[in-house]
Amino acid sequence: FEFCEAEYFLAYKEGKLVGRVAGIINRRANEIWNKKEVRFGWSDFIDDREVSSTLLGTVEEWGKSKGGKPLWLTFLKKVTKS
């Protein structure tokens, strides 16, 4: 990532890998649009609210520690419609 910073997180439950997600900060886009957005991607996890909440919460905390504001948009709209 030439313009991005990324951190990758894994979730384990009972010693088994159950999820993953990447936190991404696009410094160039944030500069251009005067934002401090933190995005996530490459997410995959089992059907378990605790796992998904923990992974996304970890990205949120990581983003805040970098001075960012999480941007969830499309993903959360899809999740909350079901």
The amino acid that residue 77 corresponds to is K
Written as one string, the DSSP assignment of 37-49 is EEEEEEEEE-S-H
- State whether the Cα torsion 24-28-29-33 is positive or negative: positive
Summarize pLDDT for 24-65 with one digit per residue, the tens.
999 999 999 999 999 898 899 999 999 999 999 999 999 999
Q: Is the pLDDT of residue 80 over 80?
A: no
Give the number of domains in the chain: 1
Residue 58's domain comprises: 4-81
CATH number of the CATH domain containing 31:
3.40.630.30
Per mean pLDDT, which of 21-25, 35-39, 67-71 is the most reliable? 21-25
